[in-house]
Amino acid sequence: MDMKTCAVLLAAGGSSRMGTDSEGRHINKLTIDIEGMNAIERCVRTFSRCVDGIVIVSSEANEEAALLAERLSEVPVKTVRGGERRQDSVLNGVRAANCGIVVIHDCARCFVTERIIMEAVESAAAYGSGAAAIKVRDTVRYGGGAAPVDRNGLMQMQTPQAFDREKLIAAYTEAGDATDDAAIWERVFGPVRLTGGSISNQKITERDDIPEFIRFARGGHDMRFGIGEDTHRLVPGRKLILGGVEIPFRLGLLGHSDADALIHAVIDAMLGAAALGDIGRHFPDTDPKYKGISSVILLKKAASMLRENGYEIGNTDAVITAQEPKLAPYIDEMRKTIADALGVGIERVGLKATTPEHLGPEGNSESITVRAIACIRSI
């Protein structure tokens, strides 16, 4: 038998359960943008790493998107037109797929993984069939007050479903109508082999599913990064405060507030990640209410601003560049103070100090500079 494998990607459905957008236009679940790629493109990209060829079965409405998706494939792609019912579309695709194994997949399951595809394909190569399925996790019942169905052994079918192509064509010719290819196969050849699916291998079905899919594409959260940098002059007659901790030293940092360059850099990194401007915009040094203020208070305010804008802190990291004093004994206390102000665990606050080899203003103890980075995530 020819053991080459072709994917048959179904993009011929009418998205009939998706409804319309705010301007009354029909929403097409397969061509809607999900973080830079639509569902057809996501499937083509993933399948092209697992198979020798791809057939996209497309409706007229999806044909342009199907042709555009071809550019993401590492293997040959052809596009054929779908039929009236799902099984007509499958059969058009399977006939066009010139391989020993065909692996059929609904493009609406656009977060399918290489593992799920390969398990189905390997099962079909060994046993003639392999269909992705997962255990039913929730209690299932019929409506109208009937008793729950015993879910023991109950499986929820997904795609991909892979088959010996010649046999599948024969089964289709004999079997007629069914909601999936596994059901058609087993009327003729007996039970289909089940392979591993995944709860993330879900099908976009309704309009409300789209934000969930976008969140998933982003890795669960909208994650952003920002940087901050601050320098203050060292002068006699001022306290040296870094990370909210008073450090004994003959010089202190000069500024309108307590001049805590570490916290200022962290605040700028956080605000930068959320594109909320900088510390000077929110806490201007011309405003008398910030004169001599503890920067820890400003850090708490910045953390609340992030929350108001829908973000929480992932982590921060900073480097203090200072020739003297020795900061190592104070690092953990500074981390703790910053973590408490942000309302996160100390393991989310990184901090290092470096000495600049007597070079530049920091090396001559004229100033201290701090550079910080922050990662924030949508709540």
* Site residues (vs Mg ion, CB under 5 A): 230, 264
Give whichever of 164 and 230 is closer to Mg ion, judged by the CB atom: 230
Name every residue whose Cβ is closer than 8 Å to that of residue 136 and which is 6 or more positions away in sequence: 151, 154, 155, 156
Rounded Cα distance, 70 and 100, in Å: 22
> Minimum CB separation from Mg ion for residue 321, in Å?
14
> Minimum CB separation from Mg ion for residue 355, in Å?
21
> Minimum CB separation from Mg ion for residue 234, in Å?
13
> Do residues 224 and 311 make contact, with C-beta atoms less than 8 angstroms apart?
yes
> Minimum CB separation from Mg ion for residue 258, in Å?
10
> Minimum CB separation from Mg ion for residue 317, in Å?
18
CA geometry: angle 321, 326, 328, nearest 5 deg:
90
Give whichever of 77 and 262 is closer to Mg ion, judged by the CB atom: 262
Give whichever of 86 and 264 is closer to Mg ion, judged by the CB atom: 264
Rounded Cα distance, 286 and 266, in Å: 21
> Minimum CB separation from Mg ion for residue 280, in Å?
8
Pick from 72, 69, 71: nearest CA to 57? 69
Residue nearest to Mg ion (CB): 264
Give whichever of 59 and 369 is closer to Mg ion, judged by the CB atom: 369
Give whichever of 171 and 267 is closer to Mg ion, judged by the CB atom: 267
Give whichever of 80 and 271 is closer to Mg ion, judged by the CB atom: 271
Enumerate long-range contacts of 311-314, CB under 8 Å, 24 or more apart: 311/224, 311/273, 311/274, 311/376, 311/377, 311/378, 311/379, 312/376, 312/377, 312/379, 313/270, 313/342, 313/343, 313/344, 313/348, 313/374, 313/375, 313/376, 314/223, 314/348, 314/374, 314/375, 314/376, 314/377
Measure the CA dihedral 308/311/314/318, to 10°. -60
> Minimum CB separation from Mg ion for residue 379, in Å?
28
Give whichever of 166 and 246 is closer to Mg ion, judged by the CB atom: 246
Rounded Cα distance, 98 and 93, in Å: 10
What is the secondary structure of 257-273 as a DSSP string? S---HHHHHHHHHHHHH
